[in-house]
Amino acid sequence: MIDVKHIESVTFNGEKIVLLDQTKLPLEEVYLEITTMKDLWEAIFELKVRGAPAIGIAAAYGVALGASQLEEQAYDEFLVKYEEISDYLASSRPTAVNLFWALNRMKRIVVDNKETSVADIKQMLHKEADAIKKDDAEICESIGENALTLMKDGMTVLTHCNAGGIATAKYGTALAPIYLAKERGMEIKVFADETRPLLQGARLTTWELMQADVDVTLITDNMAAMVMQQGKIDAVIVGCDRIAANGDTANKIGTYGLAVLAQKHHIPFYVASPLSTIDMETATGAEIPIEERPAKEITQGFGKQTAPSGVKVYNPAFDVTPNELITAIITEKGIVQAPYYESLQTVFE
Which residue numbers are catalytic?
241
**Closest by Cα among 284, 285, 229, 278 to 255:** 285
Q: By the 8 A CB rule, do 340 and 323 touch?
A: yes
d(CA 65, CA 253): 32
Q: How far is CA 76 from the centre of its chain?
A: 34
At residue 125, what is the residue type?
L
d(CA 101, CA 278): 10
If one counts every other C-beta atom within 10 angstroms of the C-beta of residue 114, the result is 12
Bridging pattern class, strands 216-219 and 249-252 = unpaired
How far does the chain reach from its first CA to its final CA, in angstroms? 41
d(CA 87, CA 261): 39
Bridging pattern class, strands 328-331 and 10-12 = unpaired
At residue 172, what is the residue type?
G
**Closest by Cα among 273, 307, 233 to 51:** 273
d(CA 92, CA 73): 28
d(CA 269, CA 297): 28
Cα distances from 219 to residues 70, 203, 224, 225, 258, in angstroms, run 48, 12, 7, 11, 13
Bridging pattern class, strands 17-20 and 31-34 = antiparallel
